[in-house]
Structure 1
Amino acid sequence: MQHMKYGRCSRYFTKMFEPSTIVDQDGYLLYKRRDNRNLIDKSGIFLDNHYVVPYNPKLLLKYKAHLNIEWCNQSTSIKYLLKYIHKHGCQTLEPTRRLLRGYDRITTVIVPLEVEAGSQTQFFWRMFSFPIHRRTLVVERLYFHLLNEQSILFNYDEDIDLLLSQPSVKESMFTSWLQENKIYIEDKNLTYIQFVTNRLNWVPPMIRELFNLRMMLSVAKRPCSYEEIRTIAVIQYPIFRGACFAKGFLHNDREYIEAIKEANNWGLGHYLRKLFITMLISNSINRLEHTLASAFRSKGHIILTVASSGITSLLLSEGRTAHSIFAIPVLTLQNSTCNVLQGSELAELLKLTKLIIWDEAPMAHKFCFEALDKSLRDIMNSSNNGDFPFDGKFVVFGGDFRKILPIIPRGTRSDINQIKNGTPIMLLRNLDQSKGLCNGTRLIVTRLTNHVIEAKIIFGKNIRNIVYIPQMSLSSSQSPWPFKLVRRQFPLIVSYVMTINKVNHRKAQLYVAFSRMQSKQGLKILIHNKEGKPLKTTTNVVFMEVFQNL
C-alpha cells in the first residue's frame, strides 16, 4: 500500500500484456508479458503476468538481491540512472549536546544534527575523494590562434625566462596540425575539422582577425602554414580578412565592383547597366541608404533615417524607429494619425526635413504610412503640394519588396549542385518582371565568374534574351532559431525538370483564361506545329500507370 497514490499504483501496476519487448517514447523498456492464462493465488487474490515485477533470475540467484538494470538510450533514462549516483544515503536527525557559557552559568542545550547513514566503504570512498563516475567526450574543441599568440600554461612559482626558452613553448594543437600536414601529404582534401571528429572553438566576431581565421579554417584543406591559409587562387593576402573577402565569407561594395569588372570582359555596356540596376533594385548593394543620407547631409539638408524595427534602426546612421520619431500609435487603424501637435518641436523638424529614409518598410502596415501622410499634409498646410504623397516630401522606402518563396526550415539536400556552362537553372527570386526575370524563370548558363553569371532565358516571351545574375543575400522566412541566418549566394537552383508546383502554375494560367469566357464562341485557342502551321487538334499525353491504384 506504500506505492498507492490517489487510488492508483505509483509504479503503474498492473502492466499491460506485451507480445515483445519494446522501448516507449520516453526511453523506458516495456518488457514482454505473455498472456498464458496462468494464475497464482496470493492471500485469496489471483495474480497473473500483469503483476509480475521485471527481474533477472541469474542475478537474483548470484547476488541474492533485486538489481535494477536499465538500457540507456535516451536522455531521460540517463538522468534516471545519474539520480542514484548523486543521491545521498539515508539521513536522520541525531540529538547532540552543546555547552553554552554565560556570564554566571553554563547551560547544556540539545541541538539536532543532520547526519547521513552509510556503509564503511561509502565513507572511505568519499573521504579520499575517489571519482564517483567517469565521462569521456567524443567531440572535443579544436583550438587555434594567430601567429605566436598561443596560450601558455604555467605555475605561478615557475621561472618565466626558463619557461620561454623551452622549445615546446612554441608548440600547440594548431601548430602541430600544420606540421603534421607537411609530413603526411597523402590526403590533401581534409580541413582542420575533418582531420579528426572535433569542433572549432567559438570566437566572437569582435576579435576580427581571429574570427576571420576561424572562417578560413572551415575551407582550408591541409595547409602547412599561415600563409597557405591566406592564399586564395594563387593570390596570398596579407591578412585573413582579405582572404575572407576573396572567398565570399565577407561582402561589401567591393564584390559588386568585381562583378562589373568580370562582366566587362565579355559584356556590352547595355548589359552592364542592366546588371547594375538589377543589383540596385534587388537591394544587393550594401547599405544604399547610407550613401543617400551622406549625400544630402553634405549639402546641409536635414535627413531622418528610420526603420520599422528597433534592431534595424541601430544599424542606421542616427537611426530611430518610425513609431518613435513620428509618434505613430502602436495600434494603428485606418483613420489614425501621428501624435504630432502643430507648432511643436517635432512639427518644426518635419517641416525642415528634406528627405525621409524608411528602412524595412515592408514590415510596417500600410496604415502607418497613411498616418504619416495625413500628418505631413496637416503640418505643412500647403496648397501647392496637396496632390502629392507626403505633401511633396521625398520619402525613400528600403527593404526587400520582392520576397522569395519561403524556405522550408530543416530541409535537406542530398548533395551540392555543381553549376557549369550549359547547366539549366531556375531563378528563386523576382529580379525584373519586365525582362522576364521572375521566380520560376528557367535559363541556361552561358558564362561563369565568381560574382556574376551570364545566362540565356529558355522559356516565355523573353526567350533567348541574355541576362546577368549577381550574388544576393537570401534568408529563411520561417527560421526556427532566435536569430536571422543569411546566406550569400546566387538566387538560383539547378533545374533539369520543373516541380509539380511550377507546372500547376502554368496550368492555372490556362484555367483562368478559360474561366473568363462566357460562351464557346468567344473562346479561341491557337495551336501550331513545329513549322508554325496552325492545327485543329493537339496531343494529350496521359500516363495510364497513375490510374492503376484508383
Structure 2
Amino acid sequence: MKKRHMDAMALVTTYGKPDVFLTMTCNPNWPEIQDELFPGQTAQVRPDLVARVFRAKLETMKDMLTKEHIIGVVKAYVYVNSMIVSYPPSFLTSISTLELYAMVVKHMMHGPCGVLKPKNVCIQEGKCKCRYPREFNKTTVQGKDSYPLYKRRKDGSSAKVRGQMLDNRWVVPYNPYLLRMFNCHINVEVCSSIKAVKYLYKYIYKGHDHTSFNIDIPDAQGNIDDIKRFIDARWVTPPEVMWRIFGFILCENYPSVLQLPLHLEGMHRVTFKEGDDLKNVLASDGADKSMLTEYFKTNRDRDDARHILYNDFPGTFRWLSTKVWQKRKNRVFQVGRIVSANPAEGDRYFLRVLLNHVTGSQSFQDLKTVDGVLCDNFRQAAERRGLIEADNTLDQCLTESAQWAMPVSLRRLFATILVFCEASDIRGLWDRHLKDMSDDFRRRHTCPTAVEQEVLLDIRGMLQSMGKDIKSFPLPDIDDNYDNTEGEAREVIEEMAIVVDEHDKSLASSLNTEQLRAYDEILAAVDRHQGGVFFVNGPGGTGKTFLYRALLAKVRGEKNIAVATATSGVAASIMPGGRTAHSRFKIPLNIDAEGSSCNFTKQCGAAKLLRMASLILWDEATMTKRQAVEALDKCMRDIMGRRNRPFGGKTVVFGGDFRQVLPVVRKGSRGQIVEVTLRSSYLWKDMRPLRLVTNMRAHNDQWFADYLLRVGNGTEETDEEGNIRLAEDICVPSTDNEVDDLEKPINHVFPALNHNMTDPGYMTSRAILSTKNDNVDIINRRMIDRFQGEEKIYHSFDSAEDDPHGYYSQEFLNDLTPNGLPPHTLKLKIKCPIILLRNIDPASGSCNDTRLVVRGFQRSAIDAEIMVGQHAGERVFLPRIPLCPSDDDIFPFKFKRKQFPVRLSFAMMINKAQGQTIPIVGVYLPEPVFSHGQLYVALSRATAKNNIKILAIKDNGKDKNEKSKKRKRSESLVTTTMNIVYKEVLSG
C-alpha cells in the first residue's frame, strides 16, 4: 500500500496536483444486469454479473477519458477500483429514457437532510457532514479551504426529491455527458489546490474495508473476555471477491513509475536461486551492475545524459533486461522514483539527497567531490553543496559576514538571527562573535564591560523595533547605569531622530491646486488639536506620496511627531520614517474576526508614540481589511481615553485608490458584495474625502492618463466577450511558441542588459509584471540565465512537520513554492535585483517588498543593498530563516522552508508592484487577470504609453494534440483582454 502511495506521489512531483477527482458508482439496475437475471433474482445474488458489467462500463469510461480526451488531454492518472456498488436505494432506478434534468434530480441531488431531515445518516452534530446545502454562487471560485465553490445559480429552479423541494444548492458536482452516457452516480470534483492530494490519496489508498463483530465464547469457568470477544476483521464484499477471481485490474497509474534502487558502493542487491553457487553468482554477467551504477556509466559514455537527474532518467532512457540504459526512441514516457530513505540511515540518505540535485555524476567518488575536494562521506558532500543544513550554519553566517559587514550591520544580523532563525546556542554565538560586533565601541571605550553594555543596548533597540524583548533571550543582563535613554520609549526616540530633508521642506510650494487644498485642510485639523479623519482618494500617479512628504516635513519641522505608515512595505519605504501599518500598530496578521484589537498595551512604547503624535498617516489603506483599521480605532480610543471620538480624537489621514487591487472580496447572491474593504467600515462615514484627480506621473501623455482612468473606473468600452481593447502600439504579437514570445517584452524592458548591469538605477527602474507566481518564476529564471556574473545557487531545507510516516518525499516538498515563499532553488548573481519577502527590520528599511541588489554572497549569508526609498544605499546581511505559508490551510500538512527570504525581481506579481512607480514596464498575460484592479495596477505603474508593452495570449485551448502542436501558426496581435472592476467599491 505504501509503495503504491509513493508511486502516486511521484506522479504529483512530476506533474503537480491533479486537476480532476472522479468517482463512478455501479448502478445495479443497469439494463445489462437486469436483462440477464433469472425470474425472481436480484443483483445482490449475482455478484459475478455485477462485476463484469461494471468492469466493462469502467473500461469504456477510462478510454473516453484517456484516449478520446472528453475533458482534456490526460497527461497522468491514478486509478483504484474499490468496487463500490450501491444497492437498491430508490435513486438508482433505470432511467435510460429520461432527460438529463431528470437524471440530475435522480442521481446527483444530495439530501434532503439537515433541517429537512435531521435524522438523515449524513448528519453529524446537527449539520450535514458534506456541507449541504451549499451557498448560491454566480461564478466558480476557490474557497478559503482550497476547495472550489462551484457556480450555483439562484434562478428559482427546484425539484421534488424524496418528498422535499430542493434547489441548485443541493446539486452534487457532475459531468452531464458522462452522466447521460453511463446512467449512474459519477461525481466529478475539481482539484483547485495541492491540499486535495492528501484527501485523494487517503481515499483511493485507504486499504481494505474493515468490520467489527463479536464472538461470545466463555472460558472454562464460564467467563467472557470483553476485549477478546471483539474482532477487527477485513470485510470482503461478494463483488470484490468476483473481481479478484476474474483477475480484473485493481489499480493502475499512467505513466508507469520505475522504482530506482538506492545503495552505497558495492552494496547493491543481487538475486539468485536457492542452491546456486555464490561464487558463480558473483562471477555472472551483470552481477556487478545496478540501475545506479549503469546511470554513472551512461554519464561517462554519453554527453547528452549528463544534464539529467537520476530521478528523471527513465523519462529519456529505458532500462533493458540486459541491465543497460538505452536512449528512448519512442514517445512512451516513464516516471522515476528513487526508493525512499530517512536520515537515520546515514550515508544512504545523504546519497539520495545528492542524486536528487546533482546531474552528470560518473561515480560514487564523483558525487563526493565538491569544488575539486574529495569529501570523506556523502553527508559532508551534501553540506558543502548547501543541500542539507550544517550544525554550525548560524555560526558560519556570522563568521562570513564579519569579513565584510560593519559592526552595526553585524549587530543587526545577530538580532535577525535571534528573532527569526530559531537559534539553539544563543549564548555561544554571543561569546564567539562579541568581538566582531563591538569593533566600533572598542575604539571609544577601554573598559570591556562598557563595550559589552553598549552592544547589548544597541541590540536591545534593534530587537524592540522587531517587536521583541531582549530579556526573552539568554544574553548578559543590561546594567541600567549605562542606559542613557532615560527610560524613553524606543519608538519615540526613533521618530524624534528623523531628520527632515531640505528638499521635502520645499515641496509645499510645488503642490498643485488639489494637493494644496488637502494640505491646508489637514494641517488646519492638526493645528486645532481637535482631530479629524481624512481619506485622500486618488488614482495612481496623482501625487499622493508627494502630498504625504510635504505634510510630514511640515509637522516634523515644527518638532512634532508624525507617524508615517502604509499597508505595503514598498509604499512605506518611500516615506521618511515610514513603517508598515502592521508592524507600527502591532496589528495581527490574520485579523478576520470582528472586534479584534492591536497587540500593544497602554504602557508600551507604541502607545506612548501614538499619544504624542500630532499626525498619523496610513497610505494604501484600501489594500487592507477593514478589521485592521477598526482594530486601530478601538485601541486609539482606549489609550486616549476618548471612546466617543474616532481614533481617540487624533488627526488621521488615510490614502489609497479603490481602483487598485483590494483585499478579499466575497461574492454574494446579489452580485459583488464588498464585506472587508475600508469603504464598508463603520468609520467610513467619519472620513472627509480629499480627491486628487490630476495624473502627475503621466502628465506628459494625456491620452494615457485618461485611458488609465477609464480602465480603473470600469468605463472603457468592452466587446461582446466583455473584454476591453488595448492600444495596438503597446501590444506585442504572440504565436504558439511562448518561449519566443517572451523575448519581446524582455527586450523592451531590459534593452542592452549586459551593458547596464552595473547601473542600479537601470535595474530598479524596470520590471515585467504578471498575474501568477508561476509566470513570474519563468521570466526570472530566463533573466538570471542571461545575466552575466558570478553565480551562486542556494537550496532550501524543507520539512513537513506533521508527517511521521514520511509520506511526503523531499523532492515533492522541494517542488512546492507557495505564495510569499522563496523557491527551493534560488539562483543569484552579483548585481542582480531581488525583492524581500518578509518584514525583517522595518526600522532600517528591511521590510516586505523592498527591492535590493545583490552585492555579495557567502555559503550562509547574502550581502545586499537597498535600492529604493529612504534607506537606499544601506547594506543588509541576510541569513536563511524558517518560513511558513501565511495561509495555514493551503497544504494538508504544516510546511516549513528554511531559505533566504528573497526572490528575483526582474519580474514580479502585479500585486507586489502596487505602490511602486516603475518607469519601464512589461505586462505578461498568458491568462487574463482574475481580481479587481489588477489590469489597472499593471498599466498605471508606467509613466507613459511609450514605456509599456503588453503580451496577451489568447486562449486557444491549452491541451492541443501533437499534430496541432507541430503545425506552425501565424503571428497574431492580441489587443483585447479582461478587465475586472467591482463598481460597487467605486461608487459605494
TM bucket by the smaller chain? Answer: 0.3 to 0.5
Structure having the higher Rg: 1
The structure in which a higher percent of residues are helix is: 2
Higher relative contact order (CA 8 A, sep 6+): 2
